[in-house]
Structure 1
Amino acid sequence: MGKGGEQRRGRSYDAELTAAVERAQQGDEDAFAVAYRIVHPGLLGYVRGLVGEDAEDVASDAWLEIARDLGRFRGDGAGFRGWTAMIGRHRALDHLRRQARRPRTALLEQDVLQMPGEHDTAAAALEALSTEAALALIRTLPREQAEAVLLRVVVGLDGPATARVLGKRSGAVRTSAYRGLKRLAEQVIRGGGGTTASGPERRTPGDAS
């Protein structure tokens, strides 16, 4: 599917999500389940990229907070995805502080990589690879670039929403996402070279860009 098709599908998901959130705020439990179904795979993938195998527990804590504070949310479906991603990030960072670990990009499930989002050429090229190859590519990125790519491609946030989640200026986030996606595109063009653990270009998300 081309970029135009992805954008139309993303808008369709956001329209459904907007309606579900509005009904959920009025006490409709089925509508909350719809919102959960749409948002959770991307949120779980993002959290998994930060905390690894503890993602299920951290995401559960995030959903408890989301359910508790749902009445305070104001915005549409796209805004809800950004709001939930911000809550997920806060819970992940709290967890990491308790565990004295740094955020890292870990394994993502295949269905997460197929979530709708605002994909550009590099991200679309990434999707054409096998899940294992895509993960290997993402894990070569410095942490800030990896997190920006996760938010843009996995959660499907736009640039300003990604900046709000990360607490950084939009320009800095755009630069991180651009550099990360550019590096991924270069790897794809070269046939995925330098992505194996023993390859000369192996890097971890904590390395400097």
Structure 2
Amino acid sequence: MPRVDTLPESSLVALAKAGSREAFGPLYRLYARQVYLYALAVTRGDQAAAEDVASEAWIDAMRRIDRYEDQGGGLVRWLVGLARYQAMTHYNRNRRHELPVGIMRDSDTAEQPEQPAENDAASRRRDELRARLYAAVDELPPKQQMVAKMRLDGMRDCEIVKVTGLSQKAASSNWYYAQRSLQNRLVAA
């Protein structure tokens, strides 16, 4: 039998489904970076949270590999789905932060002088618009939602393609339709 490292993904998945923990090493080496980059995107740059999310996704993958069925996109798409679930779980447990700590600037945590009321009103309006945008994103179809969240979190098309396993055309199309839907929802509201 050939070495596990040299087997194609489908054979590694079959071995893992049969209970081989040895098959996870090569699968991890193949997809760890993509899972982490996705986790980093959905945690908005919070490296510690991204590491937690990615680790939990891999643990979940080891527990649930027997349930994996390729529905297009291969194993990486399934792993990204697990990471998405783990990210939601992570932020539901840790709701005390509106934004992940990793993207806060020093000026956000320093004491700020009292600002005029216009700034308070503008800040409230900006926060309200941001909340409406993210609520609208959550109502998009799954693929559009995934691509929209990554784009809003600053990921480039090439990164989205690598992380999701979508083609360039599919990623662009999902972003286009997500933008149209978001515009319609936010203008109508």
* TM-score, normalised with respect to structure 2: 0.51
Unmatched tracts of structure 1, length 5 or more: 1-14, 107-140, 164-169, 179-207
Unmatched tracts of structure 2, length 5 or more: 1-6, 104-149, 180-185
Structural RMSD (CA): 3.8
Sort the Cα spacing of 1:102 and 1:16 in 2 relative to 1 into closer, same or farther, 3 A.
farther
Once residues 175 and 104 of structure 1 are traced to their aligned partners in structure 2, the CA distance between those partners, rounded to angstroms, is 30
Identical aligned pairs, as a percentage? 25
2:26 to 25, 34, 38: 34
Q: CA deviation at 1:143?
A: 1.0
Once residues 98 and 75 of structure 1 are traced to their aligned partners in structure 2, the CA distance between those partners, rounded to angstroms, is 30
Residue pairs, 1:1-209, within 5 angstroms: 16-51=8-43, 52-53=46-47, 54-75=49-70, 78-100=73-95, 101=98, 143=152, 146=155, 150-153=159-162, 155-159=163-167, 171=173, 173-175=174-176
Q: Give the total of aligned pairs.
A: 122
Sort the Cα spacing of 1:176 and 1:93 in 2 relative to 1 into closer, same or farther, 3 A.
farther
Displaced runs of 4+ in structure 1, greater than 6 A?
103-106
Q: Counterpart amino acid of 1:80?
A: L
Once residues 143 and 152 of structure 1 are traced to their aligned partners in structure 2, the CA distance between those partners, rounded to angstroms, is 15
Once residues 176 and 103 of structure 1 are traced to their aligned partners in structure 2, the CA distance between those partners, rounded to angstroms, is 28
* TM-score, normalised with respect to structure 1: 0.47
Larger Rg: 2
Contact map agreement 1:18 1:76 (CA 8 A) in 2: no
Sort the Cα spacing of 1:175 and 1:77 in 2 relative to 1 into closer, same or farther, 3 A.
closer
Q: CA deviation at 1:97?
A: 2.8
Contact map agreement 2:80 2:164 (CA 8 A) in 1: no
